[in-house]
Chain A
Amino acid sequence: MPIIYKAAITIILIIWCIGIFIEFLVPYNEHLIYFLPYLNKTFSLVCHQENSKLITNGISETLTCARCTGIYLGLSLSSLIILLKEPKIKISFKLILFAVIPMLIDIIFYSVQIYPYSKIFAFSTGSLLGSVGFLYFYSGFKNLIIEIKNK
């Protein structure tokens, strides 16, 4: 795939992740506060934004929960790696199961209160899903370009 497409996807994902952490950036550029309520509403479409599940440093919080933050950072990390080196992993159904099962186990375990909600577990399982999920997206996008070229 031409590097320009890979770079465009990576840039979009990085901008999306910057949006998630915008509260952390407001102290460095006060005009970013104008975007904050709008971005909060945007991310509310893709995340429940429950206060207890947001990543915080005591002053600022992420605009998505720990799990969603992990998913989007995982997607960004995978896209950055693929920008530098083409993956040789074969896309199979077992791969997505490997990524989804830890997240499902975490959701079930904290729902039945085997342990309380852990931002670390949520972030880790989210990152795993995001990293692996990007491989499917990348593979689909590559096949799309091939289809368009063959048409």
Chain B
Amino acid sequence: MKKYLATLVCGFGAGVLQIVPMVKSVSCCLILPLAVFFALILDQRAAKSNSKIPMRKALLFGLFTGLFAALFGSMFEILITFLTKHNDIIASFPQLQKMIEGFPLSQDIKRDVLNLFQSMREDIIHSGFSPLYSLSIIFNNFIVNSIFGIAGGLVTGQLINSRKNININGK
């Protein structure tokens, strides 16, 4: 576990930042790759190592950072929704209604989609918790963050190694 402590720390940071709207407007899809980058750097500093990072390690660091980000991100999002009885689904529901009404679709399909979200919205407004919403948050976060973490790990691992080439070659 100590080996992956850096991924826990950076994953926690990424999970928290992913639900902060101001941060997301600046860093977009780069939160997780940056978190993996810092996890790899932290690990190298802690181990006082200057050797090249094996890609297997970069991949595992990316995966674990993504998983921790998903865990903490999901926890905080569900908790904040429970406490405030409000979230982006409720805030964007009028816009969702307008968007779906704007499409050239049959009334049955429009009604089906809106009913699904209406029930989710009512659950959250009344009790702060919707099983469907929570399940989709958890599923989404774990899949997306794992994939972005793995990709981020490979990219940042290569970046750090290419930087080491400069330092070694003095160019």
Residues of A that sit less than 8 Å from B by CB: 23, 26-27, 30-31, 33-34, 36-38, 41-42, 44-48, 50, 59, 65, 67-68, 71, 91-93, 96, 107, 133, 136-137, 139-141, 143-144, 147-148
CB-CB < 8 A to B110: which residues of A?
33
Contact (Cβ within 8 A) A41 B55: no
Total A-B residue contacts, Cβ distance less than 8 Å: 101
> A144, B55: Cβ atoms under 8 Å?
yes
Find out whether the CB atom of B113 lies under 8 angstroms from the CB atom of A65: no
Inter-subunit contact B163/A48 (CB<8 Å): no
Shortest B134–chain A CB gap in Å is 12
| With contact pairs A46-B28, A48-B24, A50-B25 given, residues A139 and B103 touching in the complex (Cβ less than 8 Å) | no
Contact of A68 among B18, B29, B102 (CB under 8 A): B29
The answer to whether residues A93 and B109 also contact, given A27-B104, A46-B144, A140-B157 and a CB cut-off of 8 A, is: no
* Chain B interface, number of residues (Cβ within 8 angstroms): 46
Contact (Cβ within 8 A) A47 B155: no
Which residues of chain B come closer than 8 Å to A96, judged between CB atoms?
Answer: 159, 162
Give chain A residues whose Cβ lies under 8 Å from the Cβ of B25: 48, 50
Q: Which residues of A contact B21 (CB under 8 A)?
A: 48
Q: Are B59 and A47 in contact (CB under 8 A)?
A: no
A107 to B140, CA, bound (A): 28
B117 within 8 A of A: yes
